[in-house]
Amino acid sequence: MDFELSAEQVAMRDVARNMLGERWHPDKMREAIDKPPATIPTDLWAELSQMGWLGVNCDEILGGGGQDILTAAILVEEAGRALLPSTFSTNLASAWAIENSANQAHRDGLLTELVLGNKRVTLAIEENHGSWGPDTIELNATGNDRDDTLHLSGTKLLVPDGSTADLFLVAARHDENLCLVAVDADAQGVTVNAMKRLDGADIVELELNDVAVPASALLQWGGDGESLLREVYSVFTVLIAADLLGSAEVTLQMTSDYAKERVQFGQPIGSFQAVSHRLADILVQVEIGRSLLYGACLALTEQREERHALVAAAKSWLNETAIDATEAGVQLHGGIGYSWELDVHLHLRRARSNAATLGDSDFHRDQIANYYCDRPG
């Protein structure tokens, strides 16, 4: 029984906090709201690779850091705190997908390129159907994989970090089963249309017009593409949950610090229970969220039966926690909280964006209801 971070994980978290604090400035996200979307510059990307973070949860033999999903989540939490563009979490999820593909060539070639920072990869999953998740996917991959060629046609939406991606892992239907197919950004028939998120993050619309890829581009898990896709979806979801936790926690910290300093009516506003009790409620939400996140990460690593439900729980809970924490941040800072200069609205924008990414709270509660409510007995 040991359900706290190891000394090594704590050390890595501290290094990440310092490094990202020095090398990335939240102003870049603020500027991106009025300008093109924010991306991670090449030199910082190279540094993240040198730190061993781009493949932190991949096998050491494949050039990764040999750590588990939780360690990846801890780093993403720091990225959330630092308002780093989402490219980092997107690539961690992509790395997980590639590493777990049955195709040795993917692991040897693609993964090395990703971990070294030479290739940026993203996941193109969601489409425009008003909901989320693998079950909504319609994009078709046709052709028999024995023919050695697959043809993909259709449109993906909200693809994270698409404008800097060299490779898209595209979720598609193939022979009635779901799968992931690796598509080069410069393949013929690929069109990338820029979009932007509320927080200035880079997302794109990906149009595939009869794109031909070799059958070897199929990512599978022991011959089963659908299981791999569902697993990847959960890994990606838990990483976004970690990002939300980062926003919630840093905003709670900023707001508590402010409540200790800001004096009105002759005393710090944090001594008023209308202020302190709201902050205490946020702390409870954050602690429950952190507990759910750790539980979900461990369940994924251990491949426990309830892992997808726990991931849904963490995402559903942290969606609301991050929104509540950042909205409270605006409110409890008073006038200054409503200003452009304060970083709180950047976290609010990020929280709102992430909460609507890979499933909102209702969506994930539905997943849990299907898991819990309908069991026999």
Partner 1 sequence: MDLLFSPADEQYRTRIRAWLSDNAGDLALIAKAEDPLQAARDWQRKMYEAGFVGLTWPKSCGGQEASLTQQVVLSEELAQARIPHLINGIALTTLGPTLIQHGTEQQRQRFLPGILSAKEIWCQGFSEPGAGSDLPSLTTRAVLDGDEFVVNGQKVWTSLAPIADWCFLLARTDPKAPKREGISYLLCDMKTPGVTVRPLRNAGGGFHFSEVFFEDVKIPRDNCVGEINGGWKIARSTLEHERSGLSGVVALEANLERQRQMAAKLKVGDKTALDKPGNRQKLAQYWIEIEGLRHLGYRALSDQLAGRPPGASASVGKLFSSRLRQKIAKTSLELAGPLAPVAKKSPHVIERGRLHAGYFDALGYSIGGGTSEIMHNTIAERILGLPRSTRDD
Binding site for partner 1 (CB under 8 A): 1-6, 68, 70, 252, 256, 259-260, 267-268, 270-273, 275-277, 279-281, 283-284, 287-289, 291-292, 294-295, 298, 309-310, 312-313, 316-317, 362, 365-366, 368-369, 372-373, 377
Which is nearer to partner 1, 146 or 375 (by Cβ)? 375
Which is nearer to partner 1, 196 or 278 (by Cβ)? 278
Structure token pair of residue 308: 């997808």
Q: Helix crossing, 273-301 with 307-332: angle to 10°?
A: 160
Say how far apart CA 265 and CA 261 lie, in whole Å.
Answer: 13
Which is nearer to partner 1, 117 or 329 (by Cβ)? 329
- Residue 169: CB minimum distance to partner 1, A: 28
Residue 333's DSSP bridge partners are none
- Residue 95: CB minimum distance to partner 1, A: 21
| Residue keyed to tokens 């709670």 | 252
- Residue 78: CB minimum distance to partner 1, A: 18
Which is nearer to partner 1, 87 or 256 (by Cβ)? 256
Say how far apart CA 229 and CA 95 lie, in whole Å.
Answer: 13
Which is nearer to partner 1, 166 or 366 (by Cβ)? 366
- Residue 294: CB minimum distance to partner 1, A: 6
Say how far apart CA 9 and CA 56 lie, in whole Å.
Answer: 12
- Residue 377: CB minimum distance to partner 1, A: 8
Does residue 320 sit in helix, strand or coil?
helix
Structure token pair of residue 359: 């499933």
Does residue 333 sit in helix, strand or coil?
coil
Does residue 108 sit in helix, strand or coil?
helix
Q: Helix crossing, 69-82 with 7-23: angle to 10°?
A: 30
Render the burial of 201-226: b for 16+ CB within 10 Å, e for the rest: bbbbbbebeebebebebbbbbeeebb
Which is nearer to partner 1, 5 or 62 (by Cβ)? 5
Amino acid at 27: D
| Residue keyed to tokens 């049955």 | 102
- Residue 271: CB minimum distance to partner 1, A: 4
- Residue 275: CB minimum distance to partner 1, A: 8
Which is nearer to partner 1, 24 or 96 (by Cβ)? 96
User: Which of 153, 218, 221 shows the shortest CA–CA distance to 190?
Assistant: 153
